Chains A and B, each alone.
Chain A
């Protein structure tokens, strides 16, 4: 997910060419306080006009406790981007308030309530504590994201390469997302010159269950794709597992072995996920 500052026409109009799975058009932290109105109008026009190709488009609005959040929704919701990202989500109450306004705007424009989804951004200690309730509040919440920089500020801790201070938060957010069958997206890696560090952190994020990672520079996209994309060997292995499982299932066998290793339902589920990531329809293997 590539962050793009909402008041930068050059970056916005080229957003779709970098091959990011999703774009985050940012009206919040990337926009100066006295330019919020300009960014809101510019992003609205971009959504109306620009082709972002295959990238999912998400708009991060300002919090409703600021003078900007409500106006952001009034301009953006009628255009129904793929998702709205809500910063500093701390409680179910925050989401209740947000959804009431969104649905009110959708009603005014005769828009459905089930097209545009919500990404809840967890970036305070309170948000982390309430994350399961936030994740399960509405079917419109289809992703949780962790805002590492704000969370560290909220916890008064320093940024370290190991991310020690926010490790518990990362895992709680992933667990809440998995428990609710939604995506979890990891925070940005701020040192754009440290490609090794980015790769290491992305591998860690993948290993603990994140389904993607945010980036602040297009240079970081390929590294993240490389980490999250299954290797040919992984795909071959997954394909064989799923195929063998189907064959054995037809013969009434639930557990079997491939090269001496036991294959049961959880292993098959993991293999199906690998094929899904590779864009292979595992149901028709």
Chain B
């Protein structure tokens, strides 16, 4: 999936994560994570994001995540939503 524009998904509420994505300036994935539970779960959050990006076949992306203690399933849902919006493939959606 190719990121063609900026998009975001999620919120700054507790148990959620705000994910912003945009085309990367250079080839590759550039992921920035700011989490309220970074010390405990920072690596797992990055792993969950990368696994979802693998599944969505995203190669080049700039992704910024502001996490408020989201579960893995929420992280994956927000990444999927943001990527599909940014790739322009989202169905059943009013921007």
Measured CA separation A36–B14 after assembly (Å) = 20
Q: Which of A45, A48, A67, A70 contacts B74 (CB 8 A)?
A: A45
Chain B CB count within 10 A is highest, among A36, A38, A72, for: A38
Distance in Å: Cβ of A36 to nearest Cβ of chain B: 6
B 28-58 to A, binary, CB cutoff 8 A, 1 in contact else 0: 0000000000000000000000000000000
Q: Is the CB of A36 within 8 A of B77?
A: no
Q: Which of B74, B77, B92 contacts A68 (CB 8 A)?
A: B92
From residue 35 to 58 of chain A, which have CB atoms closer than 8 A to chain B? 36-38, 40-42, 44-46, 48-50
Does residue A195 face the partner (Cβ distance < 8 Å to B)? no
Q: Is the CB of A37 within 8 A of B92?
A: yes
Q: Is the CB of A67 within 8 A of B73?
A: no
Instruction: Give the residue name and chain of the B residue nearest to A68 (CB).
Output: B92
Q: Is the CB of A71 within 8 A of B13?
A: no
Distance in Å: Cβ of B37 to nearest Cβ of chain A: 14
Known interface pairs A38-B78, A46-B73, A50-B73. Does A9 touch B94 (Cβ–Cβ under 8 Å)?
no
Distance in Å: Cβ of A144 to nearest Cβ of chain B: 27
Measured CA separation A33–B92 after assembly (Å) = 10
Q: Number of residues in A with C-beta < 8 Å to the partner?
A: 24
Chain B residues whose C-beta falls within 8 Å of the C-beta of A34 in the assembled complex: 93-95
From residue 68 to 86 of chain B, which have CB atoms closer than 8 A to chain A? 70-74, 76-78, 80-81, 84-85
Beyond A38-B78, A67-B93, 17 additional pairs, beta carbon < 8 A: A9-B74, A34-B94, A36-B93, A37-B84, A37-B93, A38-B10, A41-B77, A41-B81, A42-B74, A44-B77, A45-B73, A45-B77, A48-B73, A50-B73, A69-B92, A71-B92, A72-B92
Interface residues of B (CB under 8 A from A): 9-10, 13-16, 70-74, 76-78, 80-81, 84-85, 90-95
